[in-house]
Amino acid sequence: MLNDALRDVPHISLLGTTGILFEAPGLFDLETQRRIWSLAREAAGWEGIREAAPGMTTLLLTFSAPFREIDALKARLEQAWENAEPDHRQGKLVEVPVIYGGEYGPDLEAVAQAKGLDIDDVVDIHTAGVYPVFALGSHPGFGYLGALDPRIHMPRKKVPILRAEAGSVAIGGMQTGVSSTAGPSGWNIIGRTEKRLFDEQRDPPAMLEPGDTIRFTAQRVQK
Amino acid sequence: MIEVLTVGAQTTIQDQGRLGFLRYGVGCAGAMDAVALRCANIWLGNDENAAAIEIPSFPFKVRALADTHLAVSGADSDIRVDDIPFSPWGRLALKTGQTLHIGAPRRYSRCYLAVAGGWDVPLVLGSRSTQNRGSFGGLEGRGLSMGDRLRPISRPERSVPLPPDETWLGFVPPYLALPDAAVSQDGECTLRVLRAGEYGHFTEAAIAAFWQTPWKVTMQSNRAGYRLAGETLTFQKTVEMRSHGIVPGVVQVPPSGAPIIQLSDAHTAGGYPKIGTVIQADLWRIGQAPLGSVIRFVEVDYEQALQALEKIEHYLNALRLAVNDTWDAVSPKEQT
Amino acid sequence: MTTMEDLAEIKHLMMQASITKLTLTSPSLSLEIVTAAHEADPSLAASRGSNPGALSDAPSDSGPARADKQAQVRTVRSRHIGRFQHRYLTRKLPAIIPGMRIVRGEILGFIRDGMAMHPVHAESDGTITEILQSPDSVVGYGTALIAYRPCLP
């Protein structure tokens, strides 16, 4: 979806011969995402599909072997989307204690300035939110969260940094999220938590599931 | 069992990858040149997904602490056994105390060291590949260090896997057997690409530049992605896309306009526009393209992309048959 | 045209042939090649005349002054049927050349038989005197492939 221009039909495209990407029409909201969860549950069981991995009102299907009947698959996806009812699952609430700002949130000040707010305002707005987990992706255990207050939307950085520490809490575009591992990031890092939401020895390895909710609490605000 | 004597950065244990965990944000990792990995395993009679050591930095030197059957595939490095020049692209028998030295390749960039039985490291989420972000899998989730000892998984059902008097046996590499995949004389690597979702939203000039530019693989390239330099690709409108899943081979174009080919250690989702996807059958060639080398893209359709995959399977089938012949040459009582 | 890659290969070949110094001067081209043997034993140079290490047409094994140090030329023979290949299939310059020092066990080339490449090993330390088969030529059991002069202990 481009510039969040609202389509009224899904956009389906190929990712080489490895997978197919479904982008839902309509608003970037939880209702649309609930239908993506339903679509994912159904498509995961289709023959030839290795995995259904939801994104933000998007769904990636990977193939277990080179997939021949692509046109039929596209039609099947479109039909399944038509029929997809919102999945009204109730997940668990996860609290994430955060140290905001200072060395742990190097971009907090920039976000505040860009939005014409105080640092405390940004923290208040961020901690007031109740964030549904739309999907997991990007890196191990990372939850894409919805419902970020538009007052603190902030575009991804032009030049990503090489290493954001594990536990980084950040804002990227209309989304906010928390990482459990260190790695590069193009998001604006506003704080850090000690809580880890991924353990590769567990089954399932991620603590978050689509449908859960996250609340951030301010352990401390550094300026 | 082997002991690592000399090793460079980013030398990791990889199998074909960790598949089926994208919905947890876990990418596939795996060998950058999966064809070389599979070849080495086929020569040794391994499961094709047995774990090998991926070597992108040289020299690499190990000592055998027990009699070991190994295989070296991938780039055309100088191979030495106890300082005696051998050859890459083959399996070899190393006796206790002997050393194996793999030098910098003349062409291409990664070697694979496989062992009969595959390297014995724990399965994590179904794979022995090293997961870079999160540091798990492979050998303790890290690159190899001097002094590390690695043993193969024992295979009691085949205690004499190879002809007992054989010290080395080579096999024809993909560079020769898959000619349409060959690097050209100028060292340029041509990659076949399928259009991706946002192809139609790039300017005409950007599209022309994408297909015509001799893209340089910059020094900022690695297992997560290859960053290319050449032209600036412009989008019709700068956008912030919704995060969506991606796979290795996807060519993203961030606001800077410099394309990035996402690879084995890439993030599993992204929000940048995608201009194309390098076909699965050519991912191994990216894995062998050295830093500073030139890459070009050429368009293919879905059918051609599937055919390219089939060609690789034909080559590997032919290899399996040839390898079986080399065992049949050994008398039955020597094969256990 | 000679590329950077070629230079790396030329340097490698020089090392294998124990050439320690290569000097080119122009115009009218005077070429000097110094080998490790010459450096170790200047009397060898004297026996060839006034120009130490001068490039000559003849391969390295000629010269009566060395006769007492030389063994009989032997040949490495093929043990398979197939096409003869040099070591390093993908490189432009030949990997094995006359004058090159070899060690026992070294892989000099292969006999390609379908997908398999059977190695041609050096049977003892020595110096290659002649490559008897060109790359890609079909050889059979017993075909002479490479002539070499073994080192005496």
Annotated domain spans of chain B = 2-176, 181-300
Name every residue whose Cβ is closer than 8 Å to that of residue B141 and which is 6 or more positions away in sequence. B130, B131, B134, B135
**Pairwise CA distance, residues B278 & B294, whole Å:** 15
pLDDT value at residue B326: 84
Q: Is residue C141 part of a domain?
A: yes
Which tens digit of pLDDT belongs to each residue from A23-67? 999 888 899 999 999 999 999 999 999 999 999 999 999 999 989
CA B218, distance to chain mean position in Å, is: 19
C123 touches chain B (CB under 8 A): no
**Taking each helix axis from N to C terminus, what angle separates A70-83 and A30-43, rounded to the nearest 10 degrees?**
130
Statement: residue C28 has pLDDT above 90: no
User: Is residue B51 a contact partner of residue B129, using CB atoms and an 8 Å limit?
Assistant: yes
pLDDT value at residue C23: 76
B74 touches chain A (CB under 8 A): no
**Cross-chain Cβ contact B76/C91 below 8 Å:** yes
Residue A147 half-sphere exposure toward CB, CA atoms < 13 A: 18
- Identify the residue among B43, B107, B172 best suited for mutation to test binding to C, counting C beta carbons within 10 A and taking the highest: B172
Task: Check whether residue C78 and residue C105 sit in a common domain.
Answer: yes
B74 touches chain C (CB under 8 A): no
**Pairwise CA distance, residues A220 & B145, whole Å:** 40
Task: Check whether residue C78 and residue C54 sit in a common domain.
Answer: no
Which tens digit of pLDDT belongs to each residue from A158-175? 888 889 999 999 999 888
pLDDT value at residue C46: 38
Element (H, E) at C85: strand C82-86
Q: Chains that contact C by 3+ CB pairs under 8 Å?
A: B
Statement: residue A157 has pLDDT above 70: yes
Question: Which pLDDT band holds residue C135 (cuts at 50, 70, 90)?
Answer: confident
Q: What is the mean pLDDT of chain A?
A: 94
**pTM metric for this prediction:** 0.87
**Cross-chain Cβ contact C105/B81 below 8 Å:** yes
Q: Looking at the domain that runs over B181-300, which CATH code has it been given?
A: 2.40.100.10
Question: Which pLDDT band holds residue C71 (cuts at 50, 70, 90)?
Answer: confident
Q: Is residue C67 part of a domain?
A: no
**Pairwise CA distance, residues A122 & A115, whole Å:** 9
C114 touches chain B (CB under 8 A): yes
Chain A residues lying within 8 Å of B274, measured CB to CB: 15
Mean pLDDT, residues C46-62 taken together: 39
CB atoms < 10 A from the CB of C64, how many?
7
Tell which C residues from 3 to 62 touch B, by Cβ distance under 8 Å. 5, 8-9
CATH for C80: 2.40.50.100
Nearest chain B CA: its distance from C26 CA (Å): 29
Element (H, E) at B208: helix B204-212
The chain A residue lying nearest B262, using CA atoms, is A15
**Pairwise CA distance, residues B203 & C139, whole Å:** 58
CB atoms < 10 A from the CB of B233, how many?
23
Statement: residue A5 has pLDDT above 60: no
Q: Chains that contact B by 3+ CB pairs under 8 Å?
A: A, C
Is C20 strand, coil or helix?
Answer: strand
Domain boundaries, position C46: 4-58
Question: What architecture (CATH level 2) is domain A11-83?
Answer: 2-Layer Sandwich (3.30)
Cα–Cα distances in angstroms (integers) from residue C152 to residues C15, C76, C144, in the given order: 21, 17, 22
Q: Is residue C69 part of a domain?
A: no
Q: Is residue C78 part of a domain?
A: yes
Nearest to B244 among A55, A155, A205 (CB): A55
Residue with tokens 């023959």: A47
Chain B residues lying within 8 Å of A4, measured CB to CB: 240, 242
Nearest to B24 among A4, A55, A136 (CB): A136
Nearest chain B CA: its distance from A115 CA (Å): 18
Nearest chain B CA: its distance from C101 CA (Å): 12
B324 touches chain A (CB under 8 A): no
Chain C residues lying within 8 Å of B170, measured CB to CB: 110, 116-119
CB atoms < 10 A from the CB of B322, how many?
18
C119 touches chain B (CB under 8 A): yes
Mean pLDDT, residues C65-92 taken together: 78
Nearest to A13 among B124, B196, B255 (CB): B196
B102 touches chain C (CB under 8 A): no
CB atoms < 10 A from the CB of B230, how many?
18
B172 touches chain C (CB under 8 A): yes
Chain B residues lying within 8 Å of C1, measured CB to CB: none
The chain B residue lying nearest C110, using CA atoms, is B170
Chain A residues lying within 8 Å of B270, measured CB to CB: 138
- Single out the residue of B190, B161, B223, B315 nearest to residue B27, CA to CA: B223
Task: Check whether residue C91 and residue C118 sit in a common domain.
Answer: yes
Nearest chain B CA: its distance from C51 CA (Å): 33
pLDDT value at residue B208: 97
Taking the CA atoms of residue A62, residue B263, residue B315 and residue B112 in that order, the dihedral angle to the nearest 10 degrees is -130
Statement: residue C56 has pLDDT above 70: no
**B297-319 b/e (C-beta count within 10 Å ≥ 16 → b):** beebebeebbebbebbeebbeeb
Q: Chains that contact A by 3+ CB pairs under 8 Å?
A: B
Nearest to B305 among A17, A182, A205 (CB): A17
**Cross-chain Cβ contact B87/C90 below 8 Å:** no
Q: Is residue C68 part of a domain?
A: no
**Any idea which fold A93-222 has?**
Cyclophilin (2.40.100)
Task: Check whether residue C84 and residue C133 sit in a common domain.
Answer: yes
**Pairwise CA distance, residues B210 & B230, whole Å:** 9
Looking at the structure of chain C, the number of domains it has is 2
Q: Which two tokens mark B97?
A: 């105390």
**What is the DSSP code string of B43-80?**
HHT--TT--EEEE-SS-EEEEESS-EEEEEEES-EEEE
Nearest to B242 among A51, A55, A180 (CB): A55
**Pairwise CA distance, residues B135 & B141, whole Å:** 4
Is B40 strand, coil or helix?
Answer: helix
B269 touches chain C (CB under 8 A): no
**Cross-chain Cβ contact B85/C87 below 8 Å:** yes
B173 touches chain A (CB under 8 A): no
Annotated domain spans of chain A = 11-83, 93-222
Cα–Cα distances in angstroms (integers) from residue B238 to residues A162, B253, C12, in the given order: 23, 11, 51
**Pairwise CA distance, residues B100 & A29, whole Å:** 58
Kindly give the confidence (pLDDT) of every residue in chain B, 336 residues in length, as a single tens digit, with 9 standing for 90 and above: 999 999 999 999 999 999 999 999 999 999 999 999 999 999 999 999 999 999 999 999 999 999 999 999 999 999 999 999 999 999 999 999 999 999 999 889 999 999 999 999 999 999 999 999 999 999 999 999 999 999 999 876 654 456 777 889 999 988 888 866 555 656 789 999 999 999 999 999 999 999 999 999 999 999 999 999 999 999 887 666 888 999 999 999 988 899 999 999 999 998 899 999 999 999 999 999 999 999 999 999 999 999 999 999 999 999 999 998 887 765 444 444
User: Is residue B73 a contact partner of residue B10, using CB atoms and an 8 Å limit?
Assistant: no
Nearest to A54 among B23, B125, B198 (CB): B23
Chain C residues lying within 8 Å of B169, measured CB to CB: 116-119
pLDDT value at residue C63: 44
Which tens digit of pLDDT belongs to each residue from B139-179? 999 999 999 999 999 876 654 456 777 889 999 988 888 86
